[in-house]
Amino acid sequence: MFTKKSPSLLKWSLKYSLSAAFAGIICCVAPAVLFMFGLMGGVYAISFADFFYNDDGSEGTGSLILKGVAILIGIYGVYSFRKKQNQCSIDPKRKRKNMLILIITIIVLGFGIFLSLEKWSSWYFDTYIVPAQQQELKN
């Protein structure tokens, strides 16, 4: 009888935590990367990012939607791991332990990567994009 191999816990958690983190912060990382490669000017990069925030700088609907999508990606990662893991014949205690490790890893890595990207994008905007935007507006 052929039994399916259990999915890799590390690969699975990395895949879904990275996906969730990028989905949650794409509003700031995308314009920064496009600006970095010269595909977008400072004015457009800031207007792209501003689309996701209110005029006072607080989170807008777009930002909250992206964070909701990020949470859904994390939940889907846990759901699909559980579904795939249930196809394998492994000990039920090991299944529960794997699920707990996966959930904690996705949450910790997802938040950690999200916060790192948020900090990096804020720094990059302040250091490079805002001065470029002010220069573009002067011209």
Q: What is the pLDDT of residues 60-96, one digit of tens each?
A: 899 999 999 999 999 999 999 988 887 766 788 888 8
Find the distance separating the first CA and the last CA of the chain, reported in whole Å.
73
Dist CA 81 CA 122 (whole Å): 34
Q: What is the pLDDT of residue 1?
A: 47
Mark the ranges of the chain whose per-residue pLDDT is less than 50: 1
Residue 93 is assigned to a structural domain of this protein: yes
Residue 1 is assigned to a structural domain of this protein: no
Residue 40 is assigned to a structural domain of this protein: yes
Q: Which domain holds residue 104?
A: 9-133
Residue 4 is assigned to a structural domain of this protein: no
Structural domain tally of the chain? 1
Residue 138 is assigned to a structural domain of this protein: no
User: What is this structure's pTM?
Assistant: 0.85
Chain-centroid distance of CA 16 in Å reads 9
Residue 3 is assigned to a structural domain of this protein: no
Dist CA 80 CA 83 (whole Å): 5
Dist CA 16 CA 26 (whole Å): 15
